[in-house]
Structure 1
Amino acid sequence: MSRAWGRGPFLRQEFPAQRSPVSQVEWPQERHITVGFMVRRVLVAGLLFSLLLGSSVLLVYIFRSCGPRPCRTPECHDLQAHYLASGNTSVAPCTDFFSFACGDAKGTKSSFQALAEENKRRLRKILEEPGSRHLGTGEDKAFQFYSSCVDTGAIEAEGAAPLRQVIEELGGWRISGNWTSLDFNRTLSLLMSQYGYFPFFRAYLRPHPTLPHTPVIQIDQPEFDLPLKQEQEQKIYAQIVREYLAYLSRLGALLGGDPDKVQQHAFLSISITSQLFQFLRPLEEQQAQKKLFQLVTIDQLQEMAPAIDWLSCLQATFTPMSLRPSQLLVVHDLEYLKNMSQLVEEQLLKYRDFLQSHMILGLVGTLSPALNSKFQEARRSLIQKLRELTQRPPMPTSPRWMKCVEETGAFFEPTLAALFIHEAFSPKTQSAAMELFTAIKDTLIARLRRVPWMDEKTRKEAQDRVTQLQVKMGGPEWALKPSLAREEYNDIQLGPSYLQSFLSCVRSLRARIVQNFLQSFPQHRWQVSTWGVSAYYSISDHVVVFPAGLLQPPFFHPGYPRAVNFGAAGSIMAHELLHIFSQLLLPGGCPACDTHALQGALLCLKRHYQSIPLPSGLSFNGSWTLLENAADIGGVAIALQAYSRRLLRYYGETILPNLDLSPLQLFFRSYAQVMCREPSTWEPQDPHSPPMLRVHGPLSNMQAFARHFHCPRGALMNPSSRCQLW
């Protein structure tokens, strides 16, 4: 305390001895100074607190502004409703993420099938509302064909008369009493070229095995209606034959045939089919003998299978190609063709009329979609009964409009492709999809630097392969430029019956396919329709294709949260990119690589998938699905890394409201949603794993999934060990 205050006048006052006069005199001044100091401290503290409180509020505001916001657009509301309807949030995601995302999946169509049907609904809307469009002559034919296809009243009124006319053009048959014994090869040539039916073998154009832009004719085994197997129980075989016999007899009756003759001819037709089937060799046997495909000339095939006039039949089918005896063919199973030829020769000597009936009965089955409801119902009933006998799930029944959309799309693809692009794949959508693909591709290139089993040379070549890759997105060049798709279809004659329109379209399509192969194409020929939902990688052209039909809700939309687009469409893109390197994973496919590390990673992958439980009665071959499993498990990892990199560069991420999922949780949910499918619809010959494994396999291998869903150690989705392949 300052001494000046001790010299004041209050020192002259007297106070009791027991108390200090100084303390007594100075107390009021000391109290004044202490209170002021405390007030200042309180004010300073209050100011600091206010600043801290204000900054905290500001930080909270900033974080809320920059953090994920609910997406309120109509597209997001639709997606949210889709997720809520399909999932089952009562299931713990760490225990069964497939059920969490897909529900029990019973009666659920696969996500790809559901998207394909939605695309067909869009095409239906286009085809049923032509008034708002300025159509050219060719486009108008597409709309006319669709209209005649859905006009079931006219088709029913025509009855079997159009089909009887076709049979007469082929020479008739004994079943109806009128039969002209035409030359066998002339009839076969007509069936192949005018009706698109191949009773004894299939022939089609494909790219040459070593010259991808050069067409070659491939000869394959026929497609059998009977679901026969090399090793089949006699009881099942007898039931299948009985059902097929009843079906053929029903066809003959619908065509006015004598019941006794119909039964006899139907039985001998089945006998011919059964013998042809016995000539087939298992695929494994052909691979073991290294005779999966053989190159032979038409002349050489004529010597080995003389019953068929190969040059005349193929020339008629593939006009305007100019074929000669020295023309090379790709043959799938030469032994089958030799035995088939011998059987045909025997039938021609003994049962020429039965051979004719066999071909016509097969043609009627092929044409059933263009016939009236009685023929269609006979076909549908056969298929359902055969699926029951072979313990396959029932075939879903499609509405008439959907079948008509499919047929119109097949015959008038250029027109419908351009219309679909205009309707469903705007420049904004294409730009956003290409931006997503670029992010996936760049992430893969960066990730290849850390693949442990690759040597430096292979790594550099792999990165170059990705860099040089072409990408086709949306549709072919002519679909993206509608003016190029306005074909006139001058060779298509519509009417007088729907069957005649159908057959005219069959001939026109075949001619266009041949003409397409004969043109010098520097670019890739698309193998899927523009509205299709299948992406693929072409080895011969080193191009990856993503059709517009795949880049649609719920897989992709420019207005979706990025987590959805990366988790769904991004994972699909990465999956297809990894197929560039499938050859490296095969035995001996990468001699310079660290074989021990690669085989260890593949073995780990097999064991990882085998450790995941499946529904009872469902099993799979891990070796058969290995390449697809590798692409699945790597595809999700690449897409997640690409998404994480994008989060570091861009703000404004959104989420779906009312789902209680963070952006990264939404990423995983979106991937799983793509794989939703009823397990019972999975077929053992499918190169992909069952749908539950396609979800649990990749996601349980990712530590990020367990971290973001807080899965306890040892849970199904948080195993003790993981595999690193890509």
Structure 2
Amino acid sequence: MSETLRQLEPQLSVQPSSQPEPERQLQPPPLFQLAVPTQDPPTPRQQTQLQSELQLSESNPEHQTKPAWINHRKLLLFLLGFSLCAAILGLSYYMHHSLQNRSNKQAGSETPCLSPACQRASARLSTSADHFTRPCDYFLVTCGSDRLSTDSVGRQLGQGIPGQPQNQEEKVMWPERRGQSKKREDRRVDRKSVLLQYLREILESNDRPGSTAAQKAKGFYHSCLDTKSIDTAGAEPFLTLIQKLGGWAVSGQWNRTDFNSTLSLLMRDYATFPFFSLHMGKHPNETAHRTAKRYIQIDQPELLIPTEWNSKTQKSQANTQTLRPFLASCQRYLALLGAPPSSSMIHVGTFISLSSELAVAAAPLRYRLSKGQLYQRMTIKELQSQAPAIDWLGCLQAAFHPLPLVEDDHVLLHNLAYIVQMSRIIGKWLNKHELRSSGPLHTYMVFYLLHTLMPALDSRFSETAKNLSVALGNSEGEVPRWKHCVLETERGFDLVLSELLIQRTAHREAEEIIQNIFSFFKSKLRELMGTDQKSLQFVMKKVHSLIPRLWTTKEISSEADLDLLFSKVTVSTRGFFSNYVQLLSVWQKRRSQLLTEQTDATDILSVTPLLLGNELRFPVGMFVPPFFHPTYPRAMNYGAIAFLMAKDILHLILSDNCLLGYRVNLHCGVVYSQSETVYAVGECVWAHYLAVTQKTGRGRAFSLSAAQQQEVWVQYSALQIALQAYHQSLKNHPGDTSISGLSHTRLFLTSFSQVNCDSDPYRKFMPLEPSFLITVICAKSNLCPTSLQCHNKTQQHLLQPC
């Protein structure tokens, strides 16, 4: 053994000079090396004593075996020191690795959310791809195939995108994503469709019976779904209704009813307005007053005949390409209603001729705005003198019964020129003796009533309308029957559905998110540098005066009031046409009530905040799954609905005040200079994006426009606001639950990635995939649960945080 130790001794004693300093310190000191003097040299007496001790050791046999024992101890101490060094290095690596993945490992110890809503959310997340495994691949996929073109962005949508492998490596790494590219190409979130789906669940639920009005709403919805009964009834219900109106000349049975009497009846009982439309609302110059009066507002009608605007002649006109399919559809409608083929062409011809004359008198909204034709105030008596063919007082009294209207009441006109010309056209057709027997004005009103009642008729009528739409170039997809029925139910039972929705909304949780988001939104505004200071001060003053709140209806105070309102409605499970006609009458009465009420009617289908006076109102329709649920972890709620709220507020307030300066607003005299903050953030985010796309060939450098810079800043700021608000919520109420074992921050970001493709009017200005903002916000940050560096080894690590 001593021989072995002598062979090891030279190796153990060597200290390489090139060894790093830290490692040299971790090596055990060589046992046979004389200690380096650290004080004064030894005295002669000490030297003499040292020599005598050495001589004694040489003459003593026991001392001669000591070097071997010392060599043995040297090896043990070396091994002990080496083990200690390895343990320290291992512990350091473990601590570093543990801290890096701390949030992921903590999730397992978090309390899981086990509510039914959370279980459904967990099922959705389990079917989604793991966004954090290959972040830059996922975050570069666009929300829709029409989102960005090659010309505007400089990358082919299919190039290098997971789900469309370009090489064998990706084919191996992403086998489960092949075949999903089409689904992922269109990930836009239509918030209105989400709300309609939630209302569908309410109408189809088997909850407690509830109010009588709620039962009638559900019965109406189910009768709409019963297409078999609707098709079996055919056109007979509508033909029976025509007989109640005095018949019509098309069928050969018409009792020559009075023109204004028939018009008043259509307006009162069937919410049908063939020659003009009616609305209720305030004058824009009076909206600042909380007690501002509501007026009857008269506008041109929705024209049935397709027309186009001629900018040279400044008039509407029809062309032969649109008239031919329109003529064919009118003939088809008359055939479905049993009109004799021999006489149908005459009635169709007079209908198109009258429609064309009225269309020429109409004008698009943008033209009327430029000519100042909106909100022209006059009394009903003055209107009667301007357009004498219509019995204005009688028609308005019928439409707004039982309100006591008089000739001196004021109304607002939105196209007086059309109203005057419409009166002349009606007077001319009434005086055409050769056409009195065919009743062209009465036939025109019946055609318009058919248009109103089309949703309640059998599929042959809707199919004819669809064919006309396709012939005119409209390529919108067919609306599912359930969505059509929800919309029709909401039209008549909006107050009932609003009450049911409010009952299911967690007011306390929604109000907390509203207040937190609005607070951090105000802080974000203060970061705007380089903006016109007068504009910034004006906006800040306006923002601080706003009162954010959840928008709930105050029109109906109890279920008993709802039952009373719909007490005269009798819902038949197999009579959708009858149900629909009853609801038209109720709907018109509701409109008349809004004329005298001071509270604003709640739009149940509203999904974005709106400004009303000094109130920033958030409709309850925003707070529905999958964006929000009271049992969700707060991370999931804040990652989805809080981001959408922050984005909506930024768009609503900043754009309306031209604060960021990329657009010309009618209320802005000039276009303000671009904010330095918006420019800096937009270019910073874009630099992160180019660092990834240029290396992989998925993009090329080009400058962002001011509009694109603003939209990047808005969405990036909205994500920051939502994340800050969530952290503040955790401080105020420590602890949160988890879904699918995800950490809080990761669940927040995952929730955001599920909704960031929200469809809104500003989507066209977003030059990159919104999910990519997760990569930017996680750059050089300890917020994120895992490193989001891209696999293409770009110089992303050299970029500055935005």
Partner secondary structure for residue 143 of structure 2: helix
Decide which of 240, 243, 250 is 1:165's aligned counterpart.
Answer: 240
CA shift in 2, pair 1:342/1:556, >3 Å: same
Decide which of 185, 194, 198 is 2:273's aligned counterpart.
Answer: 198
Task: Tell whether 2:471 aligns with 1:396.
Answer: no
Decide which of 655, 660, 665 is 1:582's aligned counterpart.
Answer: 655
**Correspondence list, 1:428-439, <5 A:** 430-439=507-516
Task: Tell whether 2:316 aligns with 1:230.
Answer: no
Match of 1:595 in 2: 672
Task: Tell whether 2:394 aligns with 1:312.
Answer: yes
Match of 2:597 in 1: 519
CA shift in 2, pair 1:572/1:192, >3 Å: same
Match of 1:504 in 2: 582
Shift of 1:51: 8.4
Match of 2:149 in 1: none
Larger Rg: 2
CA shift in 2, pair 1:274/1:83, >3 Å: farther
CA shift in 2, pair 1:713/1:604, >3 Å: farther
CA shift in 2, pair 1:121/1:146, >3 Å: closer
Decide which of 569, 581, 591 is 1:492's aligned counterpart.
Answer: 569
Most deviating of 156-165 and 697-706: 697-706
Unaligned residue ranges in structure 1 (runs of 5+): 616-621
CA shift in 2, pair 1:488/1:343, >3 Å: closer
> Amino acid of the residue matched to residue 389 of structure 1?
L
CA shift in 2, pair 1:264/1:339, >3 Å: same
> Amino acid of the residue matched to residue 58 of structure 2?
P
After TM superposition, the score normalised by the length of structure 2 is 0.70
Give CA-to-partner distance per residue, 1:125-152, whole Å, 9 cap, x none: 23xx3xx524444344334434544444
Partner secondary structure for residue 575 of structure 1: helix
Match of 2:616 in 1: 543
After TM superposition, the score normalised by the length of structure 1 is 0.77
**Correspondence list, 1:459-474, <5 A:** 459=536, 462-473=539-550
Match of 2:354 in 1: 272
Task: Tell whether 2:640 aligns with 1:568.
Answer: yes
Most deviating of 481-490 and 289-298: 481-490
CA shift in 2, pair 1:114/1:410, >3 Å: closer
Task: Tell whether 2:345 aligns with 1:263.
Answer: yes
> Amino acid of the residue matched to residue 329 of structure 2?
Y
Partner secondary structure for residue 216 of structure 2: helix
Give CA-to-partner distance per residue, 1:647-706, whole Å, 9 cap, x none: 788876787659xx99767656644543548xxxx9xxx84444x948637956994377
Partner secondary structure for residue 657 of structure 2: helix
**Correspondence list, 1:610-625, <5 A:** none
Conserved? CA contact 1:544–1:576, under 8 Å: no
Match of 2:107 in 1: 69
Match of 1:619 in 2: none
Task: Tell whether 2:441 aligns with 1:363.
Answer: no
Shift of 1:498: 3.9
Match of 1:380 in 2: 463
Most deviating of 30-39 and 159-168: 30-39
Partner secondary structure for residue 323 of structure 1: coil
CA distance in 2, matches of 1:323, 1:480: 27
CA distance in 2, matches of 1:665, 1:520: 46
Conserved? CA contact 1:471–1:543, under 8 Å: yes
CA distance in 2, matches of 1:626, 1:378: 48
Shift of 1:308: 1.4
CA distance in 2, matches of 1:180, 1:64: 84
CA distance in 1, matches of 2:440, 2:210: 48
Decide which of 388, 410, 414 is 2:491's aligned counterpart.
Answer: 410
CA distance in 1, matches of 2:737, 2:210: 41
CA distance in 1, matches of 2:103, 2:770: 34
CA shift in 2, pair 1:335/1:533, >3 Å: closer
Conserved? CA contact 1:628–1:687, under 8 Å: no
CA shift in 2, pair 1:508/1:388, >3 Å: same
CA shift in 2, pair 1:341/1:93, >3 Å: same
**Correspondence list, 1:8-23, <5 A:** 21=58
Shift of 1:300: 2.4
Most deviating of 81-90 and 238-247: 81-90
> Amino acid of the residue matched to residue 489 of structure 1?
F
Shift of 1:389: 3.1
Partner secondary structure for residue 230 of structure 1: strand
CA distance in 1, matches of 2:706, 2:535: 24
Shift of 1:321: 2.5
Q: Cα RMSD (Å) of the superposition?
A: 5.1
CA distance in 2, matches of 1:332, 1:636: 41
Shift of 1:364: 1.1
Match of 2:28 in 1: none
Partner secondary structure for residue 330 of structure 1: strand
> Amino acid of the residue matched to residue 276 of structure 1?
L
Shift of 1:317: 0.5
Match of 2:366 in 1: 284
> Amino acid of the residue matched to residue 487 of structure 2?
E
Task: Tell whether 2:137 aligns with 1:92.
Answer: yes
CA shift in 2, pair 1:442/1:23, >3 Å: farther
Match of 2:325 in 1: 243
Shift of 1:393: 2.0
Partner secondary structure for residue 379 of structure 1: helix
Unaligned residue ranges in structure 2 (runs of 5+): 1-34, 36-41, 145-160, 163-179, 699-704, 781-786
Most deviating of 184-193 and 85-94: 85-94
Give CA-to-partner distance per residue, 1:385-426, whole Å, 9 cap, x none: 423432x32431422x5433333332223333333444x43x
CA shift in 2, pair 1:440/1:135, >3 Å: closer
Match of 1:450 in 2: 527
Match of 1:555 in 2: 627
CA distance in 2, matches of 1:457, 1:235: 46
Give CA-to-partner distance per residue, 1:422-446, whole Å, 9 cap, x none: 4x43x3xx33333322221111111
Q: Percent identity?
A: 26
CA distance in 2, matches of 1:596, 1:420: 44
Give CA-to-partner distance per residue, 1:52-72, whole Å, 9 cap, x none: 867986887787665562667
> Amino acid of the residue matched to residue 554 of structure 1?
P
Match of 2:174 in 1: none
Conserved? CA contact 1:266–1:358, under 8 Å: no
Most deviating of 448-457 and 240-249: 448-457
Most deviating of 323-332 and 112-121: 112-121
Shift of 1:520: 3.6
Conserved? CA contact 2:528–2:676, under 8 Å: no
Partner secondary structure for residue 120 of structure 1: helix
> Amino acid of the residue matched to residue 601 of structure 2?
R
Partner secondary structure for residue 696 of structure 1: coil
Partner secondary structure for residue 596 of structure 1: coil
